[in-house]
Amino acid sequence: MKTTYLPKLARGEILGAVAISDPATSSAEEPPACAVVTDEAIRLRGTKRFVVGAVGAGLFIVYASTERGAHDRPPGRMLLAVPSTTPGLTVAPRDPLVGVRASGSAALEFDDCVVPTAMVIGQASEARRIGKELLASADLVVAAQAVGIGTAAMEKAVERARERETDETLVGSHQSVQFMIAEMQLQLNASRLFVQRAVDARSESDSAYQAAQAKAFAGRAAVETADRAIHILGGDGSLADHGIERHWRDAKTCELNPSTRESAQLLVARHLLEEVS
């Protein structure tokens, strides 16, 4: 699997995407992706949602449930590498997201996709752990993304504060603007330090906690920074021409990807309670 896919992924000849999120409601029309395991192959059925980069991806890493009791296996989780060309796999129309709209996020529908057992990643017993690691990696990426979005929004706001005069008063001479700039600088600095710390802790036992915390903080900081930046630009901030409303919308996705702010905070809380018990 490594020799087939990693060089192509490294060269960018094929793009990878990760399918973790299940549909919000498990309904008959939209069941979560479920794998039926036989000796020869695995059949995938159901749906995965919010797959970032689904449009254009050549290979999907799919985190699937395994069917209860199939071949006497306990119900569990399984990680599979699924090429986009697999018969029965459909990439749904692009999700109409609030932000990062060019990311090609879409749902995946599996209609009895046959996946060879050779495409299973890791042992069945490792699937949950690997799934958590994937989530931690994604948290870290989104935390860094949030820092970038926040920095871009702040740069535009600082430029406006320095250059523009309204009623012969420099925008940046207003204390309200100065205080917003101070808050941006502070939150983005702390966000960068959080990301750095989470990167340093990548091989530590608390890496998932570190990544979730970095994401929860940096995501909020990005939203608040972009929000303040809009206010510093005033009416211009709401115009698409200035790009800040895009940063504002993009920032919001950092509080939703790869999981919600609340999910990240609950992961942090579980870690704290495990430490104390």
Partner 1 sequence: MITLDLTEEERMIIEMVRDFSATELGGVAHEIDIEKRVPLEAIKKMQDLGLFGLLIPEEYGGSNVRAIASARVIEELSRVCAAVAITVSVHNAVGAFPIRMFGTEEQKKRFLPRLATDAIGAFCLSEADSGSDAASLKLRATRDGDAWVIDGTKLWVTNATLAGVFLVFVRSDPDPSLGHKGITALLVERDTPGLSVSKLEDKMGIRASDTAELAFDSVRVPVENQLGVEGEGFKVAMSALDNGRIGVGAQALGIARAAFGEALRYAVQRRQFGQPLADFEAIRLMLARMDTDIQAAALLVYRAASMKDAGLAYGPEASMAKLYASEMATRVAHAAVQIHGGYGYVKEYPVERYYRDARVTEIYEGTSEMQRIVIARSVLGKKRSRGSSS
Residues that bind partner 1 (CB under 8 A): 158, 161-162, 170, 172-173, 175, 178-179, 181-183, 185-186, 189-190, 193-194, 197, 213, 216-217, 262, 265-266, 268-270, 272-273, 276-277
270: Cα within 13 Å, side-chain hemisphere: 10
How near is the Cβ of 148 to partner 1 at its closest, in Å? 18
Residue 243 C-alpha from the chain's centroid: 22
How near is the Cβ of 154 to partner 1 at its closest, in Å? 8
| CB closer to partner 1, 48 vs 192 | 192
| CB closer to partner 1, 92 vs 158 | 158
Phi-psi group of 69: left, alpha or beta (phi > 0 → left; psi -120 to 50 → alpha; rest → beta): left
How near is the Cβ of 24 to partner 1 at its closest, in Å? 18
| CB closer to partner 1, 111 vs 274 | 274
The 10 Å Cβ neighbour count of residue 211 is 29
Q: What are phi and psi of 58, to 5 degrees?
A: -100, -20
How near is the Cβ of 206 to partner 1 at its closest, in Å? 9
Query: What CA dihedral angle connects 221, 225, 226 and 231, to 10 degrees?
Result: 150
Give CA–CA dist 137/2, Å, rounded: 19
| CB closer to partner 1, 42 vs 214 | 214
| CB closer to partner 1, 105 vs 191 | 191
How near is the Cβ of 244 to partner 1 at its closest, in Å? 17
CB 64 within 8 A of CB 77: yes
Alpha helices in the chain (DSSP H): 2-11, 127-163, 175-200, 207-233, 244-254, 261-276
| CB closer to partner 1, 70 vs 266 | 266
How near is the Cβ of 44 to partner 1 at its closest, in Å? 33
